[in-house]
Structure 1
Amino acid sequence: MQHFDVVVIGAGAAGLMCAGEAGKRGHRVLLIEHNKKPGAKILISGGGRCNFTNLDVRAERFISRNPHFAKSALSRYSAGDFMTMMAAHGLSWHEKTLGQLFCDQKAGAVVDMLLAECRKGGVQVALGARTTAVSRDGDGFRLTGSMGDIRTAKLVLATGGLSIPKMGASDFTHRIARQFGLPLVPAEPALVPFTFAQDDRAFMAALSGVSQPATVATGAGKGAMRFAENLLFTHRGLSGPAILQISSYWTPDTAITVNLLADVDDVPAWLAAARQARPKAAAATILGERMPKRLADALTEQARIMGATMATLSNKALARLTDMLTAWRLYPAGTEGYAKAEVTKGGVDTAALNQKTMEVKDQPGLFIIGEAVDVTGWLGGYNFQWAWASGWAAGQAV
């Protein structure tokens, strides 16, 4: 039987961070990953550029039953701390929109950096290795799997959530959590495209590939959320950053409201002015100055004014067009599910964890970090920052 001070199961963002930190603190650490390569989600992030964090990380941009839980880890290991690590390894970055930071040397360099940190700490990395059972063994844990029996004083579960199963996602951490009697918040896909019923789907499929800046909203009152980013029409419905963001707050059988002209302050006044200044221009031509031609044509056809000039549009027709452009009310039939979801919402209830150390309160020596925990960030580097922060917190505590 092999013996370790710390075993980390899962060599994703959180697991790599935790193992490296624990190793550098002098522990004998084993990092187990069932995939043949570590950092699978890191490698595909940001189209291979790795949107590794955000300049504006705040706890309110994370979804959890306990909105305060993430504050401790996020404050103790910040975006700046991760940037300092990157700079020490000769990596650089650039900002895109909304504070999103991307690695200039691409995602593979981020994985290499984390592996270098693990080597610095003498971490033993086992790839293509599976753990089939976990049990208590005195004041530690016994693991059974493809590496034989392993005993460890501390065990960290970092296998992520259910999103993107083709990349090896599994419910391993959730299963072990249940085994130890921990409460779970029901899991569901988040940051995920919407699908629609046949009539809406046919309209959207005809526009597949068209992108448009928009504001998308859902909910009402204090629970209302809105995001202003691009949306993308697909063969099955809607995607793009604005849709992925709102999907984390959408509940089934409720509507989303889309404003396709969010950059126009007063759409009725803009349309009225266009009718006055360019009466012979086609309505689709006017709209085409603010959106792709395919979308402008489809919207005027939907509004039954295809081919109409601005002069022929009545005030009622302009009002109907304004409503379609600025308050397009849609009812998603569902989502693309875990196959296309960037993250899993829900997971191990934070009530079971120490927010400073990520240790299970009634299971000394057991830690749970990253996506498997009921902390889900916005699109744009937030979920990686939670992985770095929660992994670092556990790495300091094991």
Structure 2
Amino acid sequence: MSSAMERYDSIIIGAGAAGLYAAFHAGRRGRRVLLLEHNAKVGAKILISGGGRCNFTNLHAAPDRFISANPHFARSALARHTQHDFLKLIQKHRITHYEKTLGQLFCDGARSAQKIVRMLLDECAAAGVDIHTLYRINSIQRTDRFIVDTMMGPFESETLTIATGGFPIPKLGATGFAFDIAKQFNIPVVETRPGLVPLTFAESDLAWMRPLSGVSADVIARAGKTEFREAALFTHRGLSGPAILQASSYWRKGESIVIDWLPDAAEDALAARKRDRPKAQLKTVLGEFFSERLATAFAEQLPQGALGDMKDATLIDAARKLKAWQLTPSGDEGYSKAEVMVGGIDTNALSQQSMEARAVPGLFFIGEAVDVTGWLGGYNFQWAWSSGWAAGQVI
């Protein structure tokens, strides 16, 4: 059986962002690399990201913008292969791009995410990487080498890299494969949960929120000690939008989030309007800050009447409520709507420099499967590039 097996220096399972990146960097070193993908095409998540334009990195990528039980783990890979290193590759392939907001870099043009996948495939081809799609893994064994048995036959290699991601977006083929392998080799896993995901609410909250479906507002959303200023969007099931997605990665079931609906206004903002417009109704004044639908919804939950008929303290309390509006989500939209996964392979079990499992020489985990989760806006792609590069230097 062994003589019939095709031998490689490195086998990588999962041809997403991290797997493709690790593959060609290993291939550049003269390693014979096999990349296996169970989907019909590689880079499925790349192709749908950023509405087809691929938010491929962020100019502000730094370790403090990643979540992990071990917050220092990502420092090494992020420092040794930065967003600027990836930009050099983008420029080499003459892929035009633009900064949308907050350092988020997107490809230019409709369906331009295809250019990122093409770039990665071209680099893999130049590095001699063998890529096989529609390959299902039957089993993995380890003696002095790794034996990966597939539906198309077995392969053998010195190193094995797991780049299969996590649970989000199962319709694209996401599975828990990485964690099955972790269990097989006794690699610990930090509890996983959806991240960058819309939050849902009980009917008691939805009674006023649901009629606002489609309305957005610039807010500061807080979960614990972490806050984000971006847009919040009402949905038929609760709240979404960048600010809420960001906060969701820090939120735990049973906890509350706090929203500042008046991020640019002081607590005496409404009381100050009283001196200029004493006969104006509070609902009318709220229209200076919000859309008509949102102003009406908030007014129904605040004192009624003309500003001149209210005490300053009442108006200050109303503004304070708007600036610290506490809500307790009942849950989230789950992995089908989550952009990322929080948790994953315990980084204490991995080398910070190479992503190799300390207890299983030759076994590597990279990308989303690892307990490193970035903010919204290209950070998770940067982790894929950085962790893939780190493994690619040694596998």
TM above 0.5, one fold? Answer: yes
Greater mean deviation of Cα atoms: 123-132 or 254-263: 123-132
Q: Distance in 2 between matches of 1:202 and 1:35?
A: 42
Aligned partner of 1:318 in structure 2 is: 315
The equivalent of 1:236 in structure 2 is: 237
Is the CA contact (8 Å cut-off) linking 1:303 and 1:320 kept in structure 2? Answer: no
Cα displacement (A) at 1:316:
4.7
Shift of 1:284: 2.3
Identify which of 199, 208, 214 aligns with 2:204. Answer: 199
For residue 72 of structure 2, the aligned residue among 68, 71, 75 is: 68
Matches within 5 A, 1:39-188: 39-105=43-109, 106-136=112-142, 138-188=143-193
Unaligned runs of 5+ in 1: none
**Matching of residue 20 in structure 1 with residue 19 in structure 2:** no
Q: Can you list the C-alpha shifts for 1:218-263, whole angstroms capped at 9, x where unaligned? A: 22xxxx1111111111111111111111111112211111100102
Is the 2:223–2:248 Cα contact (8 Å) retained in structure 1? no
Determine helix, strand or coil for the equivalent of 1:156. strand
Please state how far the C-alpha of 1:386 moved relative to its aligned partner: 0.5
How many Å separate the matches in 1 of 2:286 and 2:52? 35
Tell me how far 1:304 sits from its aligned partner: 4.9
Counterpart code for 2:267: V
> What pairs up with 1:270-349 in 2 under 5 angstroms?
270-305=269-304, 308-349=305-346
What's the counterpart of residue 349 of structure 2? 352
- 2:271·2:316 contact (CA, 8 Å) conserved in 1? no
Residues 131-158 of structure 1 show CA distances to partners (whole Å, capped at 9, x for unaligned) of 121111x321111122211111111100
Give the CA deviation at 1:314. Answer: 3.5
Q: 1:225·1:249 contact (CA, 8 Å) conserved in 2?
A: yes
**2:386 aligns to what SS in structure 1?**
helix
Tell me the C-alpha RMSD between the 2 structures. Answer: 1.3
Between the aligned partners of 2:267 and 2:317, the Cα distance in structure 1 is 12
Quote the Cα distance in structure 1 between the aligned partners of 2:133 and 2:386: 24
CA contact (8 A) 1:191 1:342 kept: yes
Tell me, in whole angstroms, the C-alpha distance in 1 between the residues paired with 2:202 and 2:313.
28
Q: Which range moves more in the overlay, 367-376 or 104-113?
A: 104-113
Task: Find the aligned partners of 1:312 and 1:128 in 2 and give their Cα distance.
Answer: 71
For 2:283 and 2:38, the matched residues in 1 are separated by 54
Asked if residue 216 in structure 1 is aligned to residue 245 in structure 2, the reply is no
TM-score, with normalisation over the residues of structure 2?
0.95
Residue identity in the other structure for 2:289: R
Q: Secondary structure at the match of 1:151?
A: strand
Residue 352 of structure 1 deviates from its aligned partner by 1.1
3-state secondary structure, aligned to 2:391: helix
State the SS of the aligned residue for 1:213: strand
Cα distance, 1:348 vs. partner? Answer: 0.7
Q: How many residues are aligned here?
A: 389
Any idea what SS the aligned residue of 1:45 has?
Answer: helix
Structure 2 contact 270–316 (Cα < 8 Å) conserved: no
Aligned-residue offset at 1:360: 1.0
Q: Which moved more, 1:231-240 or 1:271-280?
A: 271-280
Instruction: Report the Cα distance in structure 1 between the residues aligned to 2:232 and 2:139, rounded to whole angstroms.
Output: 43
Q: Residue 235 of structure 1 aligns to which amino acid in structure 2?
A: H
**Amino acid paired to 1:18:** A
Could you say which residue in structure 2 is the equivalent of 1:260?
261
Report how far residue 114 of structure 1 moved.
0.8
Please, which moves more after superposition, 316-325 or 108-117? 316-325
> Any idea what the Cα deviations from partners look like across 1:49-73, whole Å, max 9, x if unmatched?
1111111111111111211111110
Query: 348-357 or 313-322: which moved more?
Result: 313-322
